[in-house]
DNA sequence: TTTATATTCAACCGCATGGTTGATCAATCG
DNA sequence: CGATTGATCAACCATGCGGTTGAATATAAA
């Protein structure tokens, strides 16, 4: 999980994922739009691989990458915990409307 | 955006967010369940703040933190780009069933 | 006022990151 | 075959991260 979020924390890698979402491509193709060397891009791909977000198949001298979306899905699911926060806020708001007692838990 | 994902890439910080989702609390309270020093925890809070995920109000000597869920929501929204990938996959699958022509774009 | 509590700040350490360059390897092209 | 292409590997460098310790700040409690 940490590795997934870490992988997402870099614009270059997010770009790669976006690219891969519309079809598999090679390391070179992933590197091409970037302003860095191929070696650097290759390292980014490795980070994505380590996070389980990308799978690589070696086809001749080309390394073809494809998106592995499951970790993205579970990261997204994890992220949704904050909805609980919203629901709770709404509940509190409702309480305020329903009963006009002074709000509890105001410890200033 | 980078900063949000970076902030999420650490278990301690995710724990803090989870904690904050069920109500505001102080830096000390956030630090308490962790196995690290208060200073270290304080740094983590600062990272969350920098990412816009947490807002702090100084109340006497206590620094009270509360969750700021908007960045989480937009990170979550960003993450959903991968659904496009799934839809595309299903389309391709459908194509295979509908017409039995050899699949296009197979450049091996 | 003295003491204790809540927190930050500053300096330091070890280690990972993100980038470079130069060399290497494997596969394809002439 | 030799030359070129696609990619990795290894070494290096600067920077940032995550943690520590020790001191400083500010508020609250005795």
Task: For residue A54, give the CATH number of its domain.
Answer: 1.10.10.10
Q: Does residue B58 fall inside a structural domain?
A: yes
Residue B48 CA to residue B19 CA, distance in Å, equals 13
Residues A4/A53, Cβ–Cβ less than 8 Å? yes
Model pLDDT, residue A88: 66
Q: Which residue has the higher pLDDT, B98 or B29?
A: B29
Tell whether A39 lies on the interface with B, counting CB pairs under 8 A. no
Alpha helices for B51-81 (secondary structure H): 70-79
Q: Does residue A105 fall inside a structural domain?
A: no
Nearest to B14 by CA among A1, A51, A11: A1
Q: Does residue A78 fall inside a structural domain?
A: no
Q: Is it the case that residue A100 has pLDDT exceeding 60? A: no
Q: Is it the case that residue B89 has pLDDT exceeding 80? A: no
Q: Does residue B102 fall inside a structural domain?
A: no
Tell whether B39 lies on the interface with A, counting CB pairs under 8 A. no
Q: Does residue B15 fall inside a structural domain?
A: yes
Query: At A50, is the pLDDT very low, low, confident or very high (cuts 50, 70, 90)?
Result: very high
Model pLDDT, residue A2: 87
Q: Is it the case that residue A107 has pLDDT exceeding 50? A: no
Q: Does residue B82 fall inside a structural domain?
A: no
Residue B48 CA to residue B40 CA, distance in Å, equals 13
Q: Which residues contact A99 (CB under 8 A, 6 or more apart)?
A: none
Closest Cα in chain A to B12: A2
Model pLDDT, residue B63: 96
User: Which run of H or E residues covers position A67?
Assistant: strand A62-67
Q: Is it the case that residue A106 has pLDDT exceeding 50? A: no
Q: State how far Cα B70 lies from the chain centre.
A: 11
B14-70 residue pLDDT tens: 999 999 998 999 999 999 999 999 999 999 999 999 999 999 999 999 999 999 989
- A30-63: burial string, b at 16+ Cβ within 10 Å, e else: bbeeeeeeeeebeebbebbeebebbebeeeeeee
Q: What is the tally of structural domains in chain A? A: 1
CA distance B22 to chain A (A): 6
Question: For residue B52, what are the domain limits?
Answer: 2-68
Q: Which residue has the higher pLDDT, B40 or B87?
A: B40
| Burial degree of B107 (CB within 10 A; 0-12, 13-18, 19+) | exposed
Q: Which residue has the higher pLDDT, A53 or A91?
A: A53
Spatial distance from the CA of B28 to the C1' of D5 (Å): 58
Q: How many CB atoms lie within 10 A of CB A96?
A: 11
Q: Is it the case that residue B8 has pLDDT exceeding 90? A: yes
Cβ < 7 Å from strand D, B residues 17-36? 35-36
Spatial distance from the CA of A58 to the C1' of C29 (Å): 20
Q: Quick check: A82 and B9 CB within 8 A?
A: no
A15-40 residue pLDDT tens: 999 999 989 999 999 999 999 999 99
Mean pLDDT of B64-78: 92
∠ CA B27-B33-B39, nearest 5°, is 45
Give the nearest partner residue to B81 out of A5, A18, A59, using CB atoms: A18
Q: Does residue A94 fall inside a structural domain?
A: no
Tell whether A104 lies on the interface with B, counting CB pairs under 8 A. no
Residue B44 CA to residue B33 CA, distance in Å, equals 13
Q: Does residue B57 fall inside a structural domain?
A: yes
User: Which run of H or E residues covers position A12?
Assistant: helix A11-21
Q: Whole-number mean pLDDT of chain A?
A: 85
Model pLDDT, residue B104: 44
Residues A11/A44, Cβ–Cβ less than 8 Å? no
């Amino acid at each position: 999980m940490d590795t997934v979020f870490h992988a997402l924390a870099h614009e270059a890698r997010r770009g790669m994922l976006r690219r891969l979402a519309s079809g598999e491509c090679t390391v070179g193709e992933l590197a091409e739009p970037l302003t860095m060397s191929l070696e650097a891009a290759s390292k980014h791909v490795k980070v994505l691989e380590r996070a389980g977000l990308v799978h690589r198949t070696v086809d001749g001298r080309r390394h073809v990458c494809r998106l592995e979306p499951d970790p993205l899905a579970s990261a997204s699911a994890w992220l949704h915990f904050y909805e609980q926060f919203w629901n709770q806020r709404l509940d509190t708001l409702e309480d305020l409307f329903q009963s006009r007692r002074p709000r509890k838990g105001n410890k200033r």
